Each structure stands twice: as structure tokens, then as C-alpha cells.
Amino acid sequence: MEFRIADSFTKSLTRLSRDEQKAVKASVFDLQTNPESTGLQLHRIDASKDPNFWSCRVNRDIRIIIHKTASSFLLAYVDHHDQAYAWAERRRIEAHPRTGAVQIVEVRERVEEIAKRRATQLPFDLGDDITTLPIAPPLAVRKLFAALAPDDLLSIGVPPDWLTDVTAATEDGFLDLAPHLPAEAGEALLEYASSGILKKPEPVVVTDPFAHPDAQRRFRVIENVEELERALELPWEQWAIFLHPSQRAFVTRTFSGPARVAGSAGTGKTVVAVHRAARLAASNDRTRVLLTTFSEPLAASLERKVKVLAGDAGSVVPRITVASFVGIARDLYQLVHGRSPQIASEDLVHGLLTKAAAAEPGPPINERFLLSEWKHVVDAWQLKSAEGYADVPRLGRKNRMGKKQRDRLWPVFAHVIHELNARGFVTEAGVFQSVTDHYAAKAEKPFHHIVVDEAQDLGVPELRFLIAIAPAGTDALFFAGDLGQRIFQQPFSWKALGVNVTGRSTTLKVNYRTSHQIRETADRLLPGAVVDVDGRDEERKGTVSVFNGPVPIVVAAADAAAEQTAVAKFIDAALADGVLPEEIGVFVRTREVMSRARAAVNATGRDVSEITLHRIGGVGTVRIGVMHLAKGLEFKVVAVMACDDDVLPLKARLEAVADETELDDVFDTERQLFYVACTRARDRLMVSGVKPGSQFMSDLMR
């Protein structure tokens, strides 16, 4: 008899308390050792439509649902008594009549009211000092699958009794139905909704329905106690086990040059990056792979995901170096020079620039322009001569630089460069350049493959550095990113630096992280397509989420105290519904308004921890942080606070602008930063500010 475990069991196990999970695991080990033991108190579930469902008693309240046949013993579900029985009573396990794959099928007549039961708003009163701003409804409602024939739907695994409902489904309606469909059917329909193409799988002939590829994604055969222990300790994580076909194609494909996967927030770009890094590392026992991103916390998150995917003790993990852009550059700098770099602080550079500028004869030099020119041109491109300054590409800088102006500015920059060198300092861009110079002409590179996550925030120094440490040949450079989430860097031409992804680029369109309602609302902040400097178009329209949720709340408060009270009520409602404190994030634009986030959480009586560059926060605490540190994180519940008219976009950034195009870029990156913060939310989102509120808040409602 084969002993199997279903993904529905491991997912339901994670929803129990730690003590309950411990008791369940003890019973599961007993079941594997002796499935016929009388001490397990197995009882057939007579009310189920499937005669093979049995209940196993864990304790007075917890029950394991088992599907038992003469040849198979399957762990299907676990929950408290009434919920476990209800789950079994409305499901059956059977082979699909067309595909032949075993499926867990929900009985159709038990879910007729699911759309009516879905909450459309959060049930709490915000108070008299709060104005709730209405979110506009979708522009059009269409039936997604009306053009598909029943035979089409059967070919992708839709159960026969769900055909009518799928054919009639709108986007909202389908997202209500999707969780009740077998995974392969829901995924194929989502791809059709996002691409207009129905990819029918090739027929598979199997004698055992559990051997069908679709079934093997949901059911594992457990051979021994060690394998069972691992399955229970590392539950079925969807991102690690399943790849959507559009994702899988970019994980497994071999590329003759640089490649890139794009997509809006939540579409699985990081999933692709992690899987691709693991696949490349597994290709050869001598392969060295760099998986890199822009910050230390995100690098730590990527490393955890690699370990879950590949196994903490697996042979693949040691072949993958996970580090931030700056982190790996500093490590290689130390390897090259035998010492750590001494990084010049911003204050030191600022002081040197202003002092050198003051010493120049003639009228005062505009300080804002001077600092901007240093950061975005001179330091970014690591210019060392007046000739280089004259020839540098000035993409993203609208004002032309005349010869007289260059001749006056260059001595200032040359003085600063000299002073930094004399004092033994180097800028971060200088660290990248030093390593770039060392490896550019060397045939031997430190890595065979480089996979970059959050690639939209690469700057000129970082991209030149990655090019220099990447080998020639296939699969050397792979980028995952979203231009709509660019918040750190000014745009520049990748092609000009030798990175051309034309013909090796795709945009993901299925959003697994963010509810339909949150995604649709946040997408109003950005255009339907984003075009980069090289003219490459990232199409954002057509993205489809995989689940529904409450409509986001957008509020304007009379004052900061009223806003804090409203956000506290929002957090309290989530906690009352079982959301854990660490699953809640509160974000603000700057540290100057962080006290408002802290006060809102304090009003709930919950502990609070602040997200920093080096840590995300502790278990049992509500996390607060600035929007820039939200990148790459996700929470079930998010409040984006203090969205006042002088805070977002940030007044200080607007006043510091020295160039017209730079002003446009400031507005773009401020809007994109707001988008990033909003799309950290999985299920619930609240956006708030003091009246009249940020101009971006009104964009959410258009």
C-alpha cells in the first residue's frame, strides 16, 4: 500500500497552532508505521459523497481526513472536528474523465453561495473625523471564458460539474470559483485570461491516475519516516513546488545572451529568479551561481527561499552565493585588494563639493545642481578627466551642458576626486568600478552564472560591475525586475553598456500575491505600459490576480490623531480575524512621520518593531517602516499612512530638483514608491493621510 500526502493536508496543517501541529505529526507518524492500528480510531465519514474518506482522531478536537483505498493511503486534510468533517463532506477524490489525473473535486452544489458570502468591505467604523474616498468600479465586466467550448475546458482538467459556472464567470466571479477548482484547471484558465491563449496539454496515458504529471504536483508518495518528517517540517509552499507554465519556460530555457523577465508586483519574478538560480547550480557540481539583489534584507530573504527550494543541506545550496549588489562588490574588492574599502560618507562628499565650489571664482554654483551632477553623472560613470566629462551620455538630463559650464564645474569635481584619493576614501560607485576594472579583461570570472532580482534598481556602476564579473557564453546574465517599481536609480541605456535583452525578454501576467481588488486599485497609479530608455515596452495591461479580497480603504482624516485612530481600528479588525501581528505592515514615506505609524500600532496594544536595512522585525510584532524598505516584502495586511500633500510626493525632493527632466523623474519615482508600498499587501490595504491628502490618493479612485 502506498502512503501519500496531499498539498491540501500540508497547507491545512500550517493553519493550526504549534501544539496542534505537534500532536498531528505524532499521529501521522503512527499512521505511516501502522495504518490499521485500532488506537487511531479511524471512522468512515458517511455523509461524504466519496465512500473512501475516513477520519482519524488526533485529540478531542483535531481530526485528520484520510482517503483510503485497497492500494493507497492518502493524508488529505486536517482541522478541528466540525471543519474537518465539513471539508470531507463536500469533496471527492477521483480521476478526471478526460485527463486521467487524480483530482480533489469540490462538490458543486455546496458552494453556490460563495460569491454572495465574500466580504466587499471591512466591518468596522472609522470614526466621525474620517472621510472614506470611494474606489471606482471596473470600467467593464466581461465573461472571460465565453469563447471556450466544453471540450476545451475538459482538456485542461475542469471537472464536468463546473463547466457551466466557468463559462459564465467574469473576472470577479472566476476568482471566487478558482479556489474550488483543481489547480491545473485554475492555472490554465488564468493563463488564458491573461494571454488569450488556451494551452491544451498533450494527452498522457497512465495506468495509475496518481502517476499523471498533474497529480504528482498535488500528491507525494512518502517512502520512509525521514521523508515524511521533511514533508511535515517544510510544508508545501506554492512558490517552491509549482511554476506556472509562463514562469517555467524562463526557468528552464537556455539563452545565448542576457535575458530578462518583467511583470508587475506579485507576478512571480522572484520565484523565477530563485528557481533559475537553483536549476543552473544543479547543472554541474563545479558551477558557481550569484543570486543578487539591491539590499541586504532582500538578499537574506532570497537565501531562505533557496534553502527551502533546494533543501538546507542539499548539494545545490553551497554553489549559490546570495548577496546584495554592494555586498558582493565589497567582498570581491577585499579579495582583489586584500583589504576592505573605506567608503566615503555622503556628508564628507557633500562637504568637499561645497567647499571646492565656493573656492571657484565667479558667481555661486547652484548647490542642488552640483550635488545632482556628482551623483548621477560624475560618480555614477566614474569620470576621471575633463574629456570623459564632455563625452559622457547624459540620458535623463534634459539641460544640455555647454563647454563653459563644463569647464567651470570640472575643476570642482577633479578636486573632490583628488581629495578622496588622498584620504584613502572611495565611493560605493568607486568600489564597483575598482572590481569592474580588475575583472573586465580577465578570462577567469568569479561566477559562471549571475541571476539578478529587482533589476530595475540597477545603476550604471552596478550594471557595469555585473557585466565585468559575468563570463562570456550562454546563460551568463539573467535579470528579473519591473520598471514600474524603479525607486532608486535614474533611467539609463542598458544597450549602451552592452546589455541587450531584445528577443530574450518576457512579461509575466499572473499575480499570485495580491488580491484582484488591491492589484486593480494599485495599477491605477501607473500607465498601462512602461517604456525604458532603450525603447523596450513592458506591457502591464492584462495582468490577472488569482484571488479576491476586500476593496481597499482610502481615507482622508481631519488630523493626524484621527488618522492614527482609524489605522488602529483597521489593524484591530485584522487581528480579530486571526491575522498574526507579524503579518501586518505599516509604511510611511519618511522617518520624520514614523511616529504616526508607531502611535497607530501602540493604540492597538500590540508590540511594534521597525524594519531596517538589516532586519525585518521580530515574531509577534507589527512591522513599521519607510516605503523604501518595503521593496520585496509582503504582508497579509498593509496600512500606508501619512500620505499628506506635502509628504507624498516628498516636498524636499521636489525643492532639491536641479533639472526639468529630473523633476519628472522625481514624480515618477515617488509614484512608483507609493505603488510599491501598496502592493506589499496580500489581502487588505488601507491608505490614509491628513486632508486634503496626497495627489496620488486621488489616482487610486479614478
Give the model confidence (pLDDT) of 397-432 as tens digits.
445 567 888 889 999 999 999 999 999 999 999 999
Helices 245-252 and 269-282, axial angle in degrees (round to 10): 40
Instruction: Dump the DSSP string for 312-334.
Output: TT-SSGGGEEEEEHHHHHHHHHH
Name the residue with cell 501576467.
509
- CA-to-CA distance for 666 and 679, rounded, in angstroms? 20
Could you tell me the pLDDT band of residue 240, with boundaries at 50, 70 and 90? Answer: very low
| pLDDT given at position 241 | 41
Name, in order, each residue with C-beta under 8 angstroms of 545's C-beta and a sequence gap of 6 or more: 175, 266, 511, 514, 515, 516, 519, 520
**478-508, pLDDT tens digit by residue?**
999 877 667 656 678 888 888 888 889 888 8
| pLDDT given at position 614 | 67
- CA-to-CA distance for 15 and 419, rounded, in angstroms? 59
Q: Are 494 and 486 in contact (CB under 8 A)?
A: no
- CA-to-CA distance for 513 and 347, rounded, in angstroms? 39
Q: Are 489 and 458 in contact (CB under 8 A)?
A: yes
Kindly compute the dihedral angle of the four CA atoms of residues 10, 16, 17, 20, in this order, to the nearest 10 degrees.
Answer: -80
| pLDDT given at position 117 | 47
**637-679, pLDDT tens digit by residue?**
999 999 999 898 888 777 766 566 667 778 888 888 999 899 9
| pLDDT given at position 651 | 82
Q: And the C-alpha cell for 346?
A: 555622503
| pLDDT given at position 235 | 47
CA atoms within 13 A on the CB side of 639: 29
Name, in order, each residue with C-beta under 8 angstroms of 679's C-beta and a sequence gap of 6 or more: 264, 265, 266, 513, 514, 518, 519, 522
Partners of 42 in the beta sheet? 56
Average pLDDT value over all residues in the chain: 84
**128-171, pLDDT tens digit by residue?**
666 676 665 555 567 889 899 999 999 999 999 899 989 988 87
- Mean pLDDT for the stretch of residues 91-111: 84
- CA-to-CA distance for 649 and 668, rounded, in angstroms? 9
Could you tell me the pLDDT band of residue 439, with boundaries at 50, 70 and 90? Answer: very high
Residue 4: helix, strand or coil by DSSP?
Answer: strand
Instruction: Dump the DSSP string for 551-614.
Output: PPEEEEESSHHHHHHHHHHHHHHHHHTT--GGGEEEEESSGGGHHHHHHHHHTTT--EEE--SS
Q: And the C-alpha cell for 108?
A: 458543486
| pLDDT given at position 37 | 61
| pLDDT given at position 372 | 83
Query: pTM of the full predicted structure?
Result: 0.72
Helix (H) / strand (E) containing 626: strand 622-626
C-alpha dist (Å) from residue 474 to 255, 261, 280, 478, 491: 6, 16, 11, 10, 27
